[in-house]
A and B are shown apart, each in its own frame.
Chain A
């Protein structure tokens, strides 16, 4: 079974530029998550999708971050414009559903904002 795929693996941009990350979850998984992991901290949930609907985006900085999951499969996360404090690893995860189902994580995208 293929795991969660993410691209790119690394990205370096200057502040005020825009960037987009892509995630393809495990086939058949209805729930998709985007996390931000700042160095030295645990992952923080940015947004959670159930199929193509948003379940939780309470910690998403909506003035600069946006995410979509068209057709309930793959997803993109965008930052526009980027700030220095957005430097982090962005992790995508998926699970069969919510509740007790295990989340499976992709390798992450390491973003550096200069």
Chain B
């Protein structure tokens, strides 16, 4: 069975500093990996995905993620955080055949001015 772990419930960074939100996964076969962001009282918004190819994936709002097969990780990164990046972030892994996604429990990112 596939699974996702987001080891940090909360990440705090200062505006302008780099940020990292961690994600590790377990899946049989090639992983399809996604990051979503959720703002209060809103649905999840797609940020980026890794299907194949370059290990560094670029997405929306200046976010990027690095796929590391040996460490089974897919950490979300941004070089310079903004206060508006404060939100709840979810990592997900998808079964490529059936399309079933499994989500982590989320990491709350707080960016302080």
Which residues of A pack against B, CB within 8 Å?
A: 4, 31, 33, 40-45, 48, 55-56, 91, 93, 95, 97-108, 110
| B83 interface residue (CB < 8 Å to A) | no
Instruction: For chain B, give the interface size range.
Output: 20 to 34
Is A106 within 8 A of B43, CB to CB?
yes
Chain B neighbourhood of A101, CB < 8 A: 99
Report the number of A-B residue pairs with Cβ-Cβ less than 8 Å.
66
Which residues of B pack against A, CB within 8 Å?
A: 4, 32, 34, 36, 41-46, 49, 51, 90, 92, 94, 96-106
A97 and chain B: residue at smallest CB distance: B99
Instruction: Give 29 CB contacts A-B under 8 Å.
Output: A40-B106, A41-B105, A42-B90, A42-B103, A42-B104, A43-B44, A44-B103, A45-B100, A45-B101, A48-B98, A48-B100, A55-B99, A56-B98, A56-B100, A91-B43, A98-B98, A99-B32, A99-B96, A99-B97, A99-B99, A100-B49, A102-B34, A102-B46, A102-B49, A103-B101, A104-B46, A105-B43, A106-B43, A108-B42
